[in-house]
Structure 1
Amino acid sequence: MTYASVVETLSTTTSTSLTRDTVARIIWATVADPGDPRVGALVAALGAETALALLLDGPSSAIVGFGLAGLRAQLRARFERAGAAETVRASAESGYHVLTPSLQDWPAQLEDLRLAAPLALWVRGDPAVLSMRSVLLTGGQDSTGYGRHVAIDLASGLGARGYAIVSGAARGIDHAALASAVASGGHPIAVLAGRVNTRFPADRGALLDDVAANGAVVSEVPPGATPIWWQFARRGQLMAALASKTIVVEASASSDALTAAEHAVELGRPLGAVPGSTSYAAGAGYQVLTGEFGARSVTSPHDADWL
């Protein structure tokens, strides 16, 4: 039931070019919470393979200096040899790209997350687009026709200016932005809270196929994993880190889009917001974004380009 036995099994039964570091990072993703800074610190200090071997297989004294006895108990309880091996096999044989910080297409801007940076990414499509200059266009799911119109206009206009369009693939503003990037021949990037091969609901599955054909669908959750509710908030952090700037097109005061905006501010990324009617709950987030987060008003692709 050890980590070492998983690596040994994979080396003899799986035809793959995955490095041992990549295998270790895939297994980390099956047991650790995305963005856990304790894991980030351990991996940064020891390397993914050594850290995982010590945490799962080594003597308790080996990690005393890190104060991670609680983390060790938590991750050992989650580690299951057959499941970890199957996740590595699926990653190697699915046709998706598995990116890690040592590989060429790893998006360097994610290092701004420091110890909360992803351990690995699964990508369907072209991983090179993740390193393009990009804009996160996001907003609420209960959007108005006006909000969706603005999202479509911004996505096509910014795409024509050479930006990749990052969004979360939810209904409403996210869906409109990604669909517009696809239709206008741009480079869409869909960041998922769940696994990269999700196809639910059906309309989102079709859109994600189009996104993968023209850009990239990306997740830090390994194949087969089921997302937990708080991972949707983590997705906002990942989107904000991937993008060069963030624009909230339309959102309520309690929308998850404001979480992404807050992360953008923390990362020092430019933040914009589209003004809308305050008589609609869907547009109430504008006051929060400008008043509390210091967002600048964006009304056109030109404004967004100069943000």
Structure 2
Amino acid sequence: MIPILDWQRFASGQDRNGFVADLGIAARQTGFFLLKGHGVDPALQREVFDKADQFFALPPAEKESISILKTPHYRGWAHDGLESLDEASGMADRKESFNMGLDLAADDPRVLAGDPFRGVNQWPDLPGFRKTMLRYYDAALALGVKLHRAIALDLGLPEHHFDSAFIDPLAALRVLHYPPGRDAKDEIGAGAHTDYGAITLLMTDGEPGLQVKPRGGYWIDVPHVPGAYVVNIGDCLMRWTNDIYVSTPHRVLRPKNQRRSVAFFVEANPDVIVEALPGTGAPKYPAIRAADYLQSRLDVTYNAPVPKS
């Protein structure tokens, strides 16, 4: 059972303790919950889907001009079959995506220095696309930071403990398109995997396919609540909490009809040291920089080499 939580219980101040307790239970048991009442403009959510549809309808040659393989910073178009999220299966994911990160100018010192994950975004030549995606990136990041305040309280930390960890983050926005595959029983939309970061905020279009496998359990379908986010704990936060929170395997089956989703991966600043939080017991993992941890996970995901800095 994946719980549905109402953010307004926390944001309004009317039931902060109850929301924090329910979030903590979900983070410890399933690692997934649905979040409504989050305050992100529904019109902006719809606009992101509209712009994504326009992008994926472009001819392959136009999308190829901003291929993710042209940059070492994981930004741009990832073609169908480029990724294998379930390395053990040997199956390539049947999906394409557009990926962007923190928007930096070409003359930003971090870009000029070739810092990992600090490149310029690649943009298609579509009116309003860049503006819409940047607006949404900011809105999703703001929500992610606020959610970490409830997470901090659940873990017995000061409410704003995580704020400074998400000032110039590795956070990434990814819009995805899964082509239909009515007879493709031996194919997968996205292979079984856990997410790499702190938390993920996922919008879906209602087309079935997303499944979760609670630890020790069976694959279950994730329900669709219009406008709500599917929120899940990522591996980095599981590590940060010393395995108090759980990052749960999930997958996307090959859909019968076209499926679209929008994932926002809330990642920390590159130099944040991920180590067992205070009060979580003896560390189970060595300390690691957030950027180094993310790179280690991405290196095994792609079926073609992404150029290094």
TM-score (norm. length: structure 1): 0.26
Question: Whose strand proportion is higher, 1 or 2?
Answer: 2
**Higher RCO, 1 or 2 (CA under 8 Å, sep at least 6)?**
2
TM-score (norm. length: structure 2): 0.26
Question: Whose helix proportion is higher, 1 or 2?
Answer: 1
